[in-house]
Amino acid sequence: MIQLYNVCKSYQKDSSSALHNLNLKIPKGDFVYITGPSGAGKSTLLKLLYCAEKPNRGQILVNGQNITRMGSRHIPYLRRRTGIVFQDFKLLENRTLFENVAFPLEIQGKKRYEISNKVYQALKHVGLHGKLHKYPLQLSGGEQQRVAIARALVIDPLILLADEPTGNLDIDVTLDIFDLFKGANARGTTVLLATHNREMIRRFPRRVIALDQGQLVEDFTP
Amino acid sequence: MLDQTVYLWRRVFRNIRQSPVLCSAAIGTVAVALTILTFFALIVVNVQLLASHWSEDIQVVAYLDNAPQPTRLKEWRMLIEDMPEVDRVSYVDSEEAMRRFSTRLGPDSDLLEGFDAEILPASLEISFKAEHRSRKAAEAVVARLKQNPDFSEFSYGQDWLERFESFLDMLRIGGGVLGAFLLFAALFIVGNTIKLTLYARRDELEIMSLVGATSLFIKTPFLLEGALHGAMGALIALGGSFALFQIFLQRGLASLLLVSGGGKVVFLAWDQQLLLIATGIILGLIGSLLSLRKFVRI
């Protein structure tokens, strides 16, 4: 599903690389933790996968498509098959939960009845179907992250990328959020989860890709 | 297609509802900029009208040594009227010249008593077509007439024409420079105001791009919003400049025109009003487009 060949990325010409000569293969339906200390290159790797950044060198293939050669006109269509979850949720505060989750479907030009149905199912799946018309700021941090996950999953993505999704949440909420990622993975979505949280990796052991200073230092499945 | 159009307009109106202050600022900026621009345009247009009224006076007077025979006169008139610049030729004989001179002297006309009308030469007064009322045309006609030895002297207000043409040039260049400057200033201010509205919505723009919106999908509502702001600002500017026209120009310029024997002070014609609204729309569109280039990067 995802292949990286000799990928290098540095943000400034003379600075040290954010990623250095990275080679990876992630099969379809895999669940992968990306770990490492701050500045290891976890977020950079995810940004390369949703084309927010371009590598300086190397090739990246997603679902058989070389995204390093992809023109900017085609990037939106790649993102329509990719769910993205952030630590800071990135929800629209002036829109209701329903509107937030419906947003990616509206962008794809789906019919209104289809949007209503899918959004309701996605919010039901994360346990927030009773709060359709609330605004994000009326919810707790854990609930906001569940809305962000519902928004990422409502499009039935091939890949789910999550960048420190539980960084600001307490342990009980973190467990709930991980259950949602596991559920998405069980339905066939390839999940890449960047995290510092060793406790989660211990509780839900899956393949671990460890980065340090932009280099792959470990790749194992416990 | 209809669904998408409705969705885009719904987003436009939702954006406007959600940031009423910024929208009002954008509309207000367009309105103020275009009001100033229109006010100056009105001054330039009216002074140009006055100038074109003055230009009706441009004529060449060809003095004749001796009063011509009627057949000769007819010949000359036909010859001159055939010139492309010439609109009309009128013959002024010595009696008519004396009558005019006497009228001009007014109460002092008795000074002319005892003088024979023959002391004043007969002349041909040559008026020009509207598009040829210039020093160049007058000089061209005089150059052709000079080839005929029967015309002894020519008068076409050379000095006055020179000053008049310099004034017209200054008006054209000054109006153009001022208009371009005001338009550029308006574009800069409108662009920056729209940039502020986009800055306030940068999160929305980022999220749209992350969930797969195309550049066109993101930009279109903002462009429509910019055009709407421009149109509304232009309509307000139309009202504002009409108010300024009534208060300042109707009285101020009208008295100037009255003194100089000019016509009425005019407001913008229908096509000029439409042009103003189109300018507002284009200002809003370009302002949005320039700002969006900075904020929307996929």
What CATH number is given to the structural domain containing B135? 3.30.70.3040
Is residue A96 very low, low, confident or very high in pLDDT (cuts 50, 70, 90)?
Answer: very high
* End position of a domain, from candidates B133, B155, B177: B155
User: Comparing B251 with A43, which gets the higher pLDDT?
Assistant: A43
Closest to B246 measured CA to CA, from B39, B29, B30: B39
**Residue at token pair 């023109």:** A71
Q: What is the least distance, in Å, from the CA of A11 to any CA of chain B? A: 17
pTM beyond 0.90: no
Which stretches of chain A sit within 8 Å of chain B by CB? Answer: 50, 52, 72-73, 75-80, 82, 84, 90-92, 94, 103-104, 106-109, 111, 151, 155
Instruction: Looking at B56-157, list the stretches that DSSP marks H as alpha helix, in order from N- to C-terminal side.
Output: 70-81, 94-105, 135-145
Taking a C-beta distance cutoff of 8 angstroms, is the pair A204, A190 a contact? no
The mean pLDDT value for B36-62 works out to 79
Q: Quick one: B184 and B272 in the same domain? A: yes
Is residue B189 very low, low, confident or very high in pLDDT (cuts 50, 70, 90)?
Answer: confident
Contact (CB<8Å) B211/A75: no
Range of the domain at B121: 59-155
Q: Quick one: B7 and B50 in the same domain? A: yes
Q: What is the rounded CA–CA span in Å between residue A156 and residue A153?
A: 5
Contact (CB<8Å) A106/B18: no
Structural domains of chain A in order of their starting residue, each with its CATH number: 28-53+77-220 (3.40.50.300)
The mean pLDDT value for B86-102 works out to 85
The mean pLDDT value for B176-204 works out to 81
Taking a C-beta distance cutoff of 8 angstroms, is the pair B128, B87 a contact? yes
Share of chain B above pLDDT 70, in %: 94
- Per-residue pLDDT, A44: 92
Average pLDDT for chain A: 90
User: Comparing B16 with A216, which gets the higher pLDDT?
Assistant: A216
Evaluate if residue A154 carries a pLDDT over 90: yes
Of the listed ranges B94-108, B156-170, B202-216, the least confidently predicted one is: B156-170
Residue A172 exposed, middle or buried by CB count within 10 Å (0-12, 13-18, 19+)? exposed
Q: What is the rounded CA–CA span in Å between residue B278 and residue B295?
A: 26
Nearest residue in B to A154, CA atom: B211
Q: Quick one: B50 and B87 in the same domain? A: no
Q: Quick one: B179 and B247 in the same domain? A: yes
Evaluate if residue B84 carries a pLDDT over 60: yes
Q: Quick one: B42 and B89 in the same domain? A: no
User: Comparing A27 with B267, which gets the higher pLDDT?
Assistant: A27
* End position of a domain, from candidates B155, B172, B194: B155
Q: Quick one: B224 and B128 in the same domain? A: no
pLDDT tens per residue, range A47-59:
999 999 999 999 9
SS3 content of chain A, % helix, strand, coil (to 5): 35, 25, 40
Q: Quick one: B202 and B280 in the same domain? A: yes
Q: Quick one: B49 and B192 in the same domain? A: yes
Q: What is the rounded CA–CA span in Å between residue A71 and residue A219?
A: 31
Q: Quick one: B82 and B37 in the same domain? A: no
- Per-residue pLDDT, B121: 85
Residue B52 exposed, middle or buried by CB count within 10 Å (0-12, 13-18, 19+)? middle
Q: What is the rounded CA–CA span in Å between residue B162 and residue B157?
A: 9
* ipTM metric: 0.87
Evaluate if residue B261 carries a pLDDT over 60: no
Task: Name the DSSP letter for residue A17.
Answer: P
- Per-residue pLDDT, B18: 77
SS3 content of chain B, % helix, strand, coil (to 5): 75, 10, 15
CA-to-CA dists, residue B58 to B103, B131, B153, B159, angstroms? 21, 12, 17, 12
Taking a C-beta distance cutoff of 8 angstroms, is the pair A36, A200 a contact? no
Q: Quick one: B71 and B138 in the same domain? A: yes
**Backbone φ, ψ for residue A88 (5° rounding):** -95, 25
- Per-residue pLDDT, A79: 93
Q: What is the least distance, in Å, from the CA of B166 to any CA of chain A? A: 55
| E strand or H helix that includes residue A44 | helix A42-49
- Report the domain count for chain B: 2
- Per-residue pLDDT, A203: 86
Q: What is the rounded CA–CA span in Å between residue A192 and residue A159?
A: 8
B78 touches chain A (CB under 8 A): no
Q: Quick one: B45 and B122 in the same domain? A: no
Of the listed ranges B31-40, B58-67, B156-165, the least confidently predicted one is: B156-165
Number of other residues whose CB lies within 10 A of the CB of residue B35:
22
Q: Quick one: B175 and B259 in the same domain? A: yes
* End position of a domain, from candidates B123, B139, B155: B155
